[in-house]
């Protein structure tokens, strides 16, 4: 999980470094196109044994993820790395809400408490009325919402296809979805920019791989708290590489979000374990 966090901070830092020279749609397209190249060995196997209705779900997920990455690439070039990382912690919070509203999952008092604390943490990070919020902050919030929608479709697909197929189909559908948008705004791209975006794709692939291994090796109650370290790395990258001021409120708000999600994850996991013990 530590390696996964470092990989994703690498993604954030490189996209921040590339800045606004390339349109968001073009940067995102090139990143996912490189991802498809990395996944070429498994692409021929995608169509074998898919459950009925899976293709439509893949298409819907691809659409949601396409919108999310457009928002994300736009935001990353315009706001501090630590801000983007902290706001991104809202994804599991939104999943808690969506699970109750859309999937009919139980919304216990603990979950309500966790959502309240996490949203308070988000307000501390954003501090509307105290600091100026720009389109980058709003875009990152939009990215969190659409990533949540993408994850809901992914959750439905886990019972219909393997993890490798789900990841590969996401890369393929997002690349297809971004292609016309990238063509519409295309500007000349240098070899250096292409190289950096290839590194972004490699870091993202590494991050997802390490995260999958972590989830397989340990329960969420162990892996979830480690995600907070990503905010520490992001703050250091912002300060040392981009000269961004260390914002104690971002660290505090991010800690509140992760703490709330970790608490409800731990409590529900231990509750299930206790219920499973013989009397």
Contact 122, 178 (CB under 8 A): no
CA quadruple 83, 89, 93, 94: dihedral positive or negative? positive
Please identify which residue in the block is written with the tokens 């929608």: 149
Task: Give the alpha-carbon dihedral of 181, 141, 98, 262, to 10 degrees.
Answer: 130
Could you tell me which residues are beta bridge partners of residue 131? 128
State how far the Cα of 138 lies from the Cα of 128, in Å rounded to an integer. Answer: 11
Could you tell me which residues are beta bridge partners of residue 128? 131
Question: What Rg, from alpha-carbon coordinates, does the chain have?
Answer: 19
49: left (phi over 0), alpha (psi -120 to 50) or beta: left
Q: Name the residue among 253, 206, 256, 261 with its Cα closest to residue 84.
A: 253
List per-residue pLDDT tens for the chain, 279 residues long: 888 888 988 998 998 888 888 899 999 999 999 888 877 777 776 666 677 778 889 999 999 999 999 999 999 888 888 888 888 888 778 877 877 777 666 667 777 888 888 888 888 888 876 666 788 889 999 999 998 888 888 878 877 777 777 778 888 899 999 999 999 999 999 999 999 999 998 898 888 778 777 767 776 566 666 777 788 888 888 888 888 888 888 889 888 888 888 887 777 666 654 443 333
């Amino acid at each position: 999980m530590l390696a996964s966090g470092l990989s994703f901070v690498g993604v954030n830092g490189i996209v921040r470094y590339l800045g606004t020279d390339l349109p968001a749609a073009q940067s995102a397209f090139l990143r996912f196109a490189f991802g498809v190249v990395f996944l070429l060995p498994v692409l021929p196997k995608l169509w074998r044994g898919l459950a009925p209705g899976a293709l439509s779900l893949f298409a819907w997920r691809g659409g949601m993820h396409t919108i999310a990455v457009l928002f994300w690439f736009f935001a990353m070039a315009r706001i501090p790395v630590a801000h983007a990382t902290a706001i991104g912690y809202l994804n599991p919070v939104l999943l808690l809400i969506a699970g109750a509203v859309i999937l009919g999952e139980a919304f216990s008092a603990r979950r309500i408490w966790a959502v309240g604390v996490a949203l308070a943490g988000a307000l501390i990070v954003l501090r509307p009325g105290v600091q100026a919020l720009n389109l980058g902050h709003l875009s990152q919030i939009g990215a969190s919402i659409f990533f949540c929608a993408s994850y809901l479709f992914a959750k439905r697909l886990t019972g219909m296809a393997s993890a490798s197929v789900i990841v590969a189909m996401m890369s393929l559908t997002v690349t297809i979805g971004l292609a016309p948008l990238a063509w519409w705004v295309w500007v000349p791209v240098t070899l250096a920019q292409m190289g950096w975006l290839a590194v972004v794709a490699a870091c993202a692939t590494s991050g997802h791989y390490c995260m999958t291994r972590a989830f397989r090796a340990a329960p969420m109650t162990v892996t979830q708290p480690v995600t907070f370290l990503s905010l520490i790395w992001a703050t250091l990258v912002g300060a040392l590489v981009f000269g961004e001021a260390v914002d104690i409120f971002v660290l505090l708000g991010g800690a509140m979000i992760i703490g709330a999600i970790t608490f409800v994850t731990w409590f529900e996991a231990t509750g299930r374990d206790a219920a499973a013990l013989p009397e």
